[in-house]
Amino acid sequence: MHNLNKFLGMILFICLYGSCKKQQHIGFGLENANVYEDKSRKTKKKNDAEYISILYTNLYQSPISPNQLYKTQNVLYSIGDQDVASEMLLSNYFNTGSIQMPTNILMRQDIESFVTNTYKRFYLRYPSEGEKAFFKQYITKNSAVSVEMVYTAFATSDEYQYY
């Protein structure tokens, strides 16, 4: 009986010793990546009040007053062609000189950052790699391109008309 207890004790010791191993971490070589929601598929068109209010906020980085919104809407309603009205409104905003935007020098110093910030500002999304590459190449090759021109392109684009 004593030998049997020794034998069972030895088997139990071997089993316990064999089952006690340092935990191994198995990795698959994956890198962490930031995933952003694709907001490029916008389907709901902004009404005039939303367009004016959002445009004003994007350009001046402050909300438009209700009185100014009402006056601006009335001016837009008085113009027949809404595309022309939007361009006139945008031109008027740029002529005030108090729009919050980077200088042309800052744009050219870090084009990729400028493009990313412009997409986030106007489209509320990050640009794709193709969009970044296009704008980087376009701004680099065309010295006449200004921040105002880029902002005008974004504010008059089809995507900006929707949310």
Q: Is the pLDDT of residue 2 over 80?
A: no
* Least reliable range by pLDDT among 50-64, 84-98, 123-137, 144-158: 84-98
- What are 11's two structure tokens? 């088997």
* 47 confidence band (pLDDT: 50, 70, 90): confident
Biggest CA-to-CA distance, the chain = 108
* Helix/strand number for the chain, H first, E second: 8, 0
Q: pLDDT averaged over the chain? A: 84
Mean pLDDT value of segment 139-147: 94
Mean pLDDT value of segment 41-66: 88
Q: Are the C-beta atoms of 112 and 132 separated by less than 8 Å?
A: yes
pLDDT of the residue at 88: 86
Amino acid, res. 100: Q
Q: Which residue did the predictor score with more confidence, 94 or 28?
A: 94
Q: Tens of pLDDT along 72-130?
A: 888 888 887 777 888 888 888 988 878 899 999 999 999 999 999 999 999 989 999 99
Query: What whole-number percentage of the chain has pLDDT above 90?
Result: 45
Q: What is the 3-state secondary structure (H, E, C) of 17-58?
A: HHHCCCCCCCCCCCCCCCCCCCCCCCCCECCHHHHHHHHHHH
Overall pTM surpassing 0.95 (yes/no): no
